[in-house]
A and B are shown apart, each in its own frame.
Chain A
Amino acid sequence: MTSASAALRAAGRPRARQPRRAGLAVYLIAGTVASVLFVLPLAWGVFRSLLPDTLVTSAPSSADVHHVTFANYTGLIGGGILHYALNSLLVAAMTAAATAVVATLAGYGFARFRFRGSGLVFALVIATLMVPFQALLTPLFLEMHTLRLTNSLLGLALFYTTFNLPFGVFVMRNTFLQIPWELSEQAAVDGAGAGRTLVSVLRPLVVPGIATTVLYAFLFSWTEFVGALTFLTSNDLYTLPLALLNMEYGSVGQVNFGYLEAGAVIAMIPCVVLYVLLQRYYIRGLTSGVVKG
């Protein structure tokens, strides 16, 4: 796993010739222009969310800047958006925690223990990548309904956890494989069992792997849409994207675009903050071999 960041640091080092000043200026200008294309739509959304609904639904004009207001946000909060945000947060937290625990245990087991069928089970877990859950909505719905896992945030989190496992198990297995074997052998000599070894000796070494797994699971769960749409039918349990969908189609009459825009911004903020703060772990995951597309 350290290979990723090492590679990024080493990247281009041998051929990063000192750019000439004119070349650098062109580079920075081109990069800034391109960045604007990628960020402006999102920033524009933030700006529109700060306009009263009457202005949001009329053609944008330069006079809009004089009418900036938090009315959409206060209105949404009064309308209970925080309840849906909390649902999203609960599902994402449960998914992240469950993925971290299950993937760490499995990664440890696959990397450090020999048992019959180990290769087959590992292949089965990784092969889950080949199965699009979008195509299994019907059997999953019927099965989860029977298990009383539809209309349940826990059920949704278990479903998300499973489809995050191939990535998590792959990352965690690689993480454990990189730790010198002698380290855990030494602990075994000192009389520590598998559990003690994991918690007291290996834990500090696998934390970066766990951080990567948690970040992916959290973001996957936070932004997932079609699974939540299928497995949650009670309005009370809706996650943020479903609450937004409700604003779009569920309301009678005109869509309140001001609210919709503000709700989208609320859904966007945690992703941006987590990504910018934990980018190092995110990129580590991208270069580790498995990615959620």
Chain B
Amino acid sequence: MIVDESGPRDNTVPRVRPARPRGTLVRGGSLRARRARTGIALVSPAFALVAVFVLFPLAFAVYISLTDWPLIGPYHFTGGRNYTELIHDPVFLHSVLFTLLYTAIVTGPILVLGYAMAVFVRANWPGSVVFRTVFFLPFIVGLATESFMLLLELQPDSGAIDAVLGKLGLASSSTAWTVHYGLALGAICVFVVWFASGLTMMILMGGMQGVPGELYEAADVDGATWWQKERRITIPMLRRNIALSLIISVIGSFLAFNQFFILTEGGPGTSTEPIVMWIYQEAFVAYHLGYATAGAIALVIVVGIISAAQFYLLRDDADAPRRAGRRR
């Protein structure tokens, strides 16, 4: 994912390629041609990998989605039939709606909590660095590992969550979290907010550190309250960081898999099955590779559109001169 860095990068990293001392070294065409050949040789391994593992599979996916490709045996060209079936498939549609619901639930809390944490650690007081490190730890450990740990704590009667909530009288101590749709979704959402808000914090913190202190000092002179300073200075200056952290968390939610696969297996039934899991099940459990790939193409398009917005935000923008000199 691409993250904005508007603040920190601006002045210190040269955006413009350093001027080449013309006429000193790049003289004859032959030297230039040799340099070009060297350049091509240097980037070719990267290009080869991208061609093999990204470009070809993308094109191949379109082709597969137009067939009835099974795992083994011959396949037939079926045109757009997979796609027409897809939009009438209640299981697929449910997985799309479920993914959207899940995304809608977690996105706001991740942003708000991440923002609050960024405000907290940007203070540069004693302990800030330790707090920042700790808040980011869940993201580092990874969803899969933590899902396995959470699985035990969500068990009825033996999990820590039932024990705590039972003590507080908030839930029965034999609540089976992973086998009820609402409970499973709720638990996973809380878990993911805990997991992902550290990333938002890091992205926003980088931007906050690029906001010139003079702006706050000037606001202090004018007697602005804390909230006025946040609303009028920080948030407007962090527009790009906020947009990018949102895009990253939305894409992350669209591609959710680990936590549902490990904690609920998509159950009860297929009620907690997000799109990626639908693709996985359809392809590698039911062996309908063509059909699964048609669903995957839909996902590629949606994620591609959201990512394109990200590129738009990351572009070396024309307003760079305006922002230049923002940091001392």
* Residues on B with beta carbons closer than 8 Å to the beta carbon of A287: 3, 5, 8-9, 206
Proximity bits, A247-290, B CB within 8 Å = 1, else 0: 01100000001001101100110011001100100110011111
Residue pair A15, B279 in contact (C-beta under 8 Å): no
Residue in A closest to B191 when the chains form the complex, CB atoms: A41
**Which secondary structure characterizes the binding site on chain A?**
helix
**Which secondary structure characterizes the binding site on chain B?**
helix
Residue pair B21, A185 in contact (C-beta under 8 Å): yes
Proximity bits, A163-206, B CB within 8 Å = 1, else 0: 10100010000100110111001001100001000000000000
Residue pair B38, A3 in contact (C-beta under 8 Å): no
Answer yes or no: B267 CB below 8 A from chain A CBs: no
Proximity bits, A79-115, B CB within 8 Å = 1, else 0: 0000000000000000000000111011011111111
Once A102-B49, A138-B61 are accepted as A-B contacts, the answer to whether A130 and B163 lie under 8 Å apart by CB is no
Answer yes or no: B214 CB below 8 A from chain A CBs: yes
How many residue-residue contacts, CB under 8 A, span A and B? Answer: 380
Proximity bits, A26-48, B CB within 8 Å = 1, else 0: 01101100110111011011001
Residue in B closest to A275 when the chains form the complex, CB atoms: B140
Answer yes or no: B56 CB below 8 A from chain A CBs: yes
Which A109-155 residues have a C-beta within 8 angstroms of B?
Answer: 109-118, 121-122, 124-125, 127-132, 134-143
Once A12-B122, A105-B43, A115-B36 are accepted as A-B contacts, the answer to whether A35 and B152 lie under 8 Å apart by CB is no
* Residues on B with beta carbons closer than 8 Å to the beta carbon of A141: 283-284
State the interface size on chain A (CB cutoff 8 A): 123
Per the bound structure, the CA–CA distance linking A163 and B284 in Å amounts to 22
* Residues on B with beta carbons closer than 8 Å to the beta carbon of A7: 7-8, 12, 206, 209-210, 327
* Interface residue tally on B, bucketed by range: 35 or more
Proximity bits, A59-78, B CB within 8 Å = 1, else 0: 11000000000000000000
Residue pair B39, A109 in contact (C-beta under 8 Å): yes
Residue in B closest to A161 when the chains form the complex, CB atoms: B49
Proximity bits, B128-164, A CB within 8 Å = 1, else 0: 1011011111101111111011111101011010110
Residue pair A223, B142 in contact (C-beta under 8 Å): yes
Answer yes or no: B25 CB below 8 A from chain A CBs: yes
Residue pair A131, B54 in contact (C-beta under 8 Å): yes
* Residues on B with beta carbons closer than 8 Å to the beta carbon of A27: 123, 125, 127
* Residues on A with beta carbons closer than 8 Å to the beta carbon of B217: 14-15
Residue pair A286, B3 in contact (C-beta under 8 Å): yes
Once A115-B36, A181-B20 are accepted as A-B contacts, the answer to whether A28 and B126 lie under 8 Å apart by CB is yes
Which A1-15 residues have a C-beta within 8 angstroms of B?
Answer: 1-4, 6-8, 10-15
Which of A44, A260, A289 has the largest count of B CB atoms less than 10 A from its CB?
A289
Residue pair B25, A113 in contact (C-beta under 8 Å): no
Per the bound structure, the CA–CA distance linking A275 and B122 in Å amounts to 20
Per the bound structure, the CA–CA distance linking A223 and B198 in Å amounts to 17
Taking A2-B12, A11-B124 as known contacts, 5 extra A-B pairs with beta carbons closer than 8 A to each other, sorted by chain A number, are A138-B292, A139-B64, A162-B53, A282-B140, A293-B248
12 contacts between A and B (CB under 8 A): A7-B210, A12-B122, A16-B124, A44-B160, A114-B39, A141-B284, A182-B21, A223-B142, A225-B143, A260-B148, A272-B140, A286-B206
